[in-house]
Amino acid sequence: MPVSVRRAGREDLPEIIAIEEASFSVPWSHQALAAELENRTARYYVLEREDGTVAAYADVWFIADEGQLANIAVRPDCRGLGYGEILLRTAMEALFEEGCTTFFLEVRQSNVQAKGLYRKLGYEDVAVRKGYYTQPDEDACIMNCKKENYQWLGHLE
């Protein structure tokens, strides 16, 4: 099924909230998600399926020359279709075009699937943040991807 990625707007908030609540044991509050849409450093992206439904969203921050993946989630019934990679690549490449030189993220140590995707894109482990996640208690792996290490697909090289 064809998909497209676009910048999110307030009209996407109900679907972003639904994806957030279905994806995380401690989801961001409705107020926090709404505030992020107004945050000047945040860039929200949504991945839409051909039928117009939002299947995934990503929240990335751009400060100075650094990007930060604040959040990314895919609807449970849409996982395993490559949507997370499409969405993250689109967001990263948009920020690289704006002048970003490196991206950072935190990921649960146990999230082998996500860490595999991040490594595929060019991310490397840089540190461990002890006790970052509280429910359940778990360390975070801090990863970064420098623009020169990003594994481009060829459309923005």
Catalytic residues: 106, 118
> How many whole angstroms separate alpha carbon 94 and alpha carbon 118?
17
> How many whole angstroms separate alpha carbon 32 and alpha carbon 16?
12
For residue 35, give the amino acid letter: A
For residue 98, give the amino acid letter: E
CB atoms within 10 A of CB 80: 9
> How many whole angstroms separate alpha carbon 120 and alpha carbon 154?
15
